[in-house]
Structure 1
Amino acid sequence: MKGKIVFVAVTLGAAAGLSRAWEPVISPLSAPPSRSADATQIERGARLAALGDCIVCHTSAHGKPYAGGRPLETPFGAIYATNITPDMQTGIGDWSLDAFRRALRDGVSRDGHLLYPAFPYPHFTRMTDGDIADLYAFMMSRAPVQATAPPNHLVFPLNFRPLVAGWNMLYLKRGPEQGVAVPASAPSAASDPRADAGNAPNAASAYAVQWQLGRYLVNGVAHCAACHTPLNKLGAEKRDAPFAGGTLEGWDAPALTKLSQAPTPWTQAQLVSYLRTGFASQHGAAAGPMRPVTQSLAQAPLEDVDAIATYVMSLQTPTAATPTAAPARPADLEQLAPPAALATGATLFNAACASCHSIAAPMSTQGDRPSLAQGTAVNADSPRNAVRMMLDGIDWHGSDAAHFMPSFAQTFTDAQIADLANYTRARFSARGPWPGLDAAAVARIRKETAKP
């Protein structure tokens, strides 16, 4: 399989031609732009940086904000985020606005080399010129940090950057996104994607403005599809399955088109709460790669997150939900005797999980926390996220409005994690244990992103 991918990549690179493999150099600035740019413009740029989660990808585990060094694991190897502070030697301090715009629109660095699409320029290209200028002003107002990202580790010949030219020919549609019709429930459309919904004369036009803004943000700076859409063998989003779910850093990114099919269907208010706080009272807490995204979105204006939720909720498919909810009387779950095959999982659950997740536990009776029966991970077709949650937990963030779960990676064996996950699913959903979830399956999941 890898050989076929390499052959296709080489063919595409050759077809692209050397004329698109290296772009012209844009002259460097002799000094970074003044950090005292217009305060209003910087504030608008900060808004966009929060919506785009720039700090999430461009900050390493123990590094300074935006200084790069964070690895992104891909099927083709590790790509390290670069330094986007205005440092003259190792950052983007010598980048002009034109160079910055070209990187976001075309995926080309200031010196002309092609950027890998792990940097989501296929989405950033849809941003308006005004928003790109605002984001540039914000980035240039950051404190410069001297830091060089580690070299990428990609399989040959995909480490040969000119091959990205072929990828761009197939998958990059450059330039701001054109407007489209708003769903029939609100036929009025806003020509300006950043229009103020508060000026809308009626509910239909207000919805239209909010939907258009949400579409612009989701498909542009927020680049939600980059995680929540499955990828083809060349790492491009499958155009025939937008927002149908993806896999990132060992976690499944759920389908954004099936929120209405949850045991308790999502509402827009719950989605807004989840995006801004990492928690929804009838669904659960964010974990894995989504956790830092919610921390970033907490810094974004409420109206923008509300617009994102409006657009996402409009994507829902009407397919009938598979019965996954718990019995009508949750208390009955406490009285169920586990099948013999799940007895080990029941023992582990009672020892390690019941103090928080049993129906009578304080965590379940206070603070409006949902039963595991409502959780996406427990009800998912794949056991990946349930296993990852048990292995990784949710890190403690001090006094932040957050939720904590300890990691059991060093506590339980692969076989015990499999038993625990299967028992949890059998107990809290109507779907029974996951077929094929055993010690070997947990070992594979553990290996993908092993925590120290």
Structure 2
Amino acid sequence: MKILYGVVVAVLVLVAAAVAYAVSPRALETVERPDSEGLDQETVARGEELAMIGNCADCHTAEGGEPYAGGRAIPTPLGTLYGTNITPDEETGIGAWSAEAFQRAMYRGLDREGNHLYPAFPYHHFTKAAEEDIEAIYTYLMSLEPVRNEAPAHELTFPFNIRPLLAGWKLLYLENERFAGLPDTDEQVNRGAYLVQGLAHCGGCHTPRNALQAEIEDEFLQGEVTENWYAPAIAGEVPAATSWDKEQLNTYLTGQWTERHGVAVGPMAPVAHNLSRVPGEDVAAISAYMATLIESDTGAEAEAEEITAAVGEEPAGDNPGAVIYASACAGCHEGEPARFAAGLQLAYSTSLRIPDPRNLIHIIEQGVQPPEGRPGPYMPGFEGALTQEQMVALTSYLRERFTDLDPWEDLEGAATEIMGSGAAHTAEASHTEE
């Protein structure tokens, strides 16, 4: 009875605290939109770079819409959220927000009117960012052309559509603390940790979540399904055939080709494209920090030769997946085609080694295209060319031939979900590896 009484009291206290927290936020006064010509241009430029590191435009821009004007659909297990308009439009954007209101949103997850924001807007990461960086992003956004665009209302299931409940979520999971630095490490790694844990919010896609959609701290960057893609583990034992180092990470993160890890594709492509436009020292810092998180004893030259030994073997003629591979894939992945059509040797492919087949299915369906107006690796998409049965046969064969891992569980279900729902046809998805 004492234990039960203690639990009841604890629950009541938590509920009371949540209610008090829910009703406490206040609206902040509107302000006149700053004159963009009077803004400090160095601060604007730095804010733009920080916004690119944070990949802000990707979530706040609808397909075919104006940058930062909102409207992008963000599917979650709890329903669909829509990116808000963060251009300086006074009525539909943040033009009437003060710097204080913007900082409060970034640190406490509250809009100017005091409404709780859903943590798909990763303020639980932004709390680590320094105030001067938040101010720089605000200054940059205020320099943009205002765009009048009302984002659609969120479409969430009950009870997750009740915003005040987010107060309880914050009590459990939000720590409004700045990045304090890592002990016993150098300045570059510390800078990378600051960006990865904060503005870049890599854990938003790569860290597993619990039932309340909070990131599980003990499984930081250990891989998660997000928006029907699988964001692979990028810390600990990563599912790569050969190890990463700082140089390879830096190359990959700036959208360039790496012989043993491929190129950023799908929803990771815009992230890499943004990082290719920020100061090189910031990407180098991210790469240096990421390299410290990876635990791997793979990557020796002898092992690399062993990994690729299977490439080029004649496929079994009675295997339908082998027949499809020989006719549609081997020419680029084993032959010597034109420069930008040279496919990754599949023994190196992380998409074949992760515990979920959906990335491979997405890539086969959509192909690989370089950023618009830029050269880069190209692979045609096979959407409509393969039946679901053929897709299952091909992906199953690739997993068996180019890895020593067990077959995927429920491969047929993944193929049905992606090819049947049309989910592979959207570019608005989360992070993936090569």
**In the alignment, is the contact (CA less than 8 A) between 2:241 and 2:298 conserved in 1?**
no
Residue of structure 2 in register with 1:97 after alignment: 99
Structure 1 segment 66-81 matched on structure 2, within 5 A: 66-81=68-83
Residue 232 of structure 1, CA deviation: 0.4
Question: 2:58 aligns to what?
Answer: 56
1:198-231 deviations in whole A, cap 9, x for unaligned?
Answer: xxxxxxxxxx010111111111111111111000
1:286 aligned partner = 264
User: Which one-letter code corresponds to 1:104 in the other structure?
Assistant: M
Which residue number corresponds to residue 198 of structure 1?
A: none
In structure 2, the CA distance between the partners of 1:423 and 1:163, relative to structure 1 (3 Å rule), is same
Sequence identity percentage: 39
Indicate yes or no: 2:361 matched with 1:361. Answer: no
1:441 aligns to 2:417 (yes or no): no
Question: Which SS does the other structure have where 1:150 is aligned?
Answer: coil
- Alpha carbons of structure 1 residues 331 and 385: separation in structure 2 relative to 1, 3 Å: same
**Whole-Å Cα distance in 2 between the matches of residues 384 and 12 of structure 1?**
39
Contact 2:364 2:381 (C-alpha < 8 Å) held by counterparts? yes
Which residue of 2 is the match for residue 346 of structure 1?
Answer: 322
Paired residue for 2:219? Answer: 241
Find the aligned partners of 2:238 and 2:161 in 1 and give their Cα distance: 41
Select 1:422's aligned residue among 390, 396, 407: 396
Distance in 2, matches of 1:329 and 1:264, equals 9
Shift of 1:423: 1.4
Q: State the aligned residue count.
A: 412
What is the CA-CA distance between 1:48 and the residue it aligns to? 0.5
Equivalent in 174, 177, 199 of residue 175 of structure 1: 177
- How far apart, CA to CA, are the structure 2 residues paired with 1:288 and 1:10? 46
Cα distance change, pair 314–119 in 1 and its aligned pair in 2 (3 A): same
Q: What residue number does 2:429 align with?
A: none
Task: Identify the match of residue 298 of structure 1 among 276, 290, 295.
Answer: 276
**Structure 1 range deviating more: 253-262 or 104-113:** 253-262
Q: With structure 2 as the length reference, what TM-score do the two structures score? A: 0.88
For the residue of structure 1 that corresponds to 2:105, the secondary structure is: helix
1:77 and 1:436 map into 2 onto residues whose CA distance is: 24
Structure 1 distance, partners of 2:192, 2:25, is: 33
Q: Which residue does 2:26 correspond to in 1?
A: 24
* Counterpart position of 1:412: 386
What residue identity is the alignment partner of 2:60?
H
Distance in 1 separating the partners of 2:129 and 2:73: 25
Report if the CA contact (8 A) 1:22-1:113 is conserved: no
Q: In 2 relative to 1, CA 427–97 (structure 1 residues): closer, same or farther, beyond 3 Å?
A: same
Query: TM-score with structure 1 length normalisation?
Result: 0.84
Distance 1:293 1:366 in 2: 21
SS at match of 2:63: coil
How much is the aligned-residue C-alpha RMSD, in angstroms? 2.6
- Structure 1 residue 285: Cα displacement: 1.7
Which residue in the other structure is 1:47 paired with? Answer: 49
- Matches of 1:427 and 1:379 in 2, distance apart? 12
Q: Is the 8 A contact 1:282 1:369 kept in 2?
A: no
- In structure 1, distance between residues paired with 2:389 and 2:269: 27
Q: CA deviation at 1:290?
A: 0.9
Query: How far off is 1:448 after superposition?
Result: 7.5
The one-letter code of the counterpart of 2:295 is T
Gaps of 5+ in 2: 1-10, 427-434
Q: Which has the higher contact order (CA 8 A, sep 6+)?
A: 2
